[in-house]
């Protein structure tokens, strides 16, 4: 295998994020940014393929300059190269524009055999960018992978479906998005961290990747987020208070009633 490209996204740590009920927007102040956890699974999958078959692992991300830190973290984990795709022209991108922009960046990298993404980002939850990249590049895609094997130019992928998994085969190059069960991402290594410290993250702007401005940023985005809100709690809720054993008994009775 020659080159594996891993796409990552920096996201707010959603365990700690809250929504302002008045404006219906994310309260971003003071929230730590992390690498989207599924993207770490994608990176781990790439690193394991590299260890087994030999390859260069190139990590890219589209975002503002602070994403450099996230990219450095991937170096600490074992990525060979990184690049930040960043330009004012990319601001306000939806999943279409993001997929286009990332695919343009990938076009500038030679000999790409595999593009790995997390199955979705934990902030937007769309799961559209991975497949979008495949469409723009006009190559096959397999989503929700829980296992990837490689042999002589051909990938065998186990794809998670509702009640089990499908086994699919596809030739390089292709896009695979991975699910959480594929692996446990490794910790950064000390030597990796030392390397990350010395690395200057290259920034690729619109001109570098020959991005056409009708497809990028707010202008190139066919969709727009109108509103974000916490959905109202569905149905009626009842809270049983008092002694645990008694409330448990009352809960069981209530459930029995509902099942009838």
Partner 1 sequence: MNYQLTEEQLMIQDLITKIANEKVKPVRAHLDETGEFPWEIMKILADSDLCGLYIPQEYGGFGGGEMEFCLATEALSRVCGGVGVTFAATALGCTPILQHGSDEMKKKYLPDIAAGKKLAAFALTEANAGSDAGAMETRAVKDGDYYILNGTKQWITNGGEADINSVFAITNPDKGSRGCTAFVVEKGTPGFSFGKKENKLGIRASATRELVFENVRVHKDNIIGREGNGFIVALKTLDTTRPGIAAQAVGIAQGSLDEALEYARTRVQFGKPIITLQCIQHMLADMAIQIEAARALLYAVCRNIDAGAKDYTKEAAMIKTFASDMAMKVTTDAVQIMGGYGYMREYPVEKMMRDAKITQIYEGTNQVQRNVIAKYLMKELSGKK
By CB under 8 A, name the binding residues for partner 1: 186-194, 197
Nearer to partner 1, 47 or 102 (CB): 47
* Cα 162 off chain centre by: 20
- Decide: 37 and 118 in contact? Cβ < 8 Å: yes
Nearer to partner 1, 201 or 211 (CB): 201
- Decide: 218 and 91 in contact? Cβ < 8 Å: yes
Name the helix (H) or strand (E) containing 104. Answer: helix 95-107
- C-beta of 259: minimal distance to partner 1 in Å? 36
- C-beta of 124: minimal distance to partner 1 in Å? 26
Q: Which of 68, 71, 74 is nearest to 41 (CA)?
A: 74
Nearer to partner 1, 73 or 87 (CB): 73
- C-beta of 191: minimal distance to partner 1 in Å? 5
- Decide: 179 and 130 in contact? Cβ < 8 Å: no
Nearer to partner 1, 187 or 256 (CB): 187
- C-beta of 198: minimal distance to partner 1 in Å? 11
Q: 31's torsion region: left (phi>0), alpha (psi -120 to 50) or beta?
A: beta
């Amino acid at each position: 295998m020659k080159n594996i490209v891993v796409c990552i996204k920096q996201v707010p740590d959603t365990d700690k994020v809250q929504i302002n009920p008045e404006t219906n927007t994310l309260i971003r102040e003071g929230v730590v940014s992390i690498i989207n956890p599924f993207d770490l699974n994608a990176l781990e999958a790439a690193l394991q393929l590299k260890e087994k078959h030999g390859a260069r692992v190139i990590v890219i991300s589209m975002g503002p300059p602070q994403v450099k830190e996230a990219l450095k973290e991937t170096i600490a984990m074992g990525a060979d190269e990184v690049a930040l795709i960043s330009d004012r022209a990319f601001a306000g991108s939806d999943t279409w524009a993001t997929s286009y922009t990332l695919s343009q960046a990938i076009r500038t990298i030679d000999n790409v055999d595999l593009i790995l993404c997390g199955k979705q980002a934990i902030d937007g939850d769309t799961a559209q960018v991975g497949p979008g990249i495949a469409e723009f590049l006009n190559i096959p895609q397999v989503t929700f992978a829980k296992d990837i094997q490689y042999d002589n130019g051909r990938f065998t992928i186990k794809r998670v479906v509702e009640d089990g998994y499908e086994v699919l085969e596809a030739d390089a190059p292709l896009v695979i998005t991975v699910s959480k069960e594929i692996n446990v991402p490794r910790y950064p290594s000390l030597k990796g961290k030392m390397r990350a410290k010395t690395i200057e993250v290259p920034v690729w702007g619109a001109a570098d990747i020959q991005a056409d401005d009708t497809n990028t940023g707010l202008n190139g985005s066919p969709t727009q987020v109108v509103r974000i809100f916490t959905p109202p709690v569905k149905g009626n809720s009842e809270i049983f208070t008092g002694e645990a054993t008694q409330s448990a008994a009352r809960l069981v009775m209530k459930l029995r009633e509902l099942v009838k």
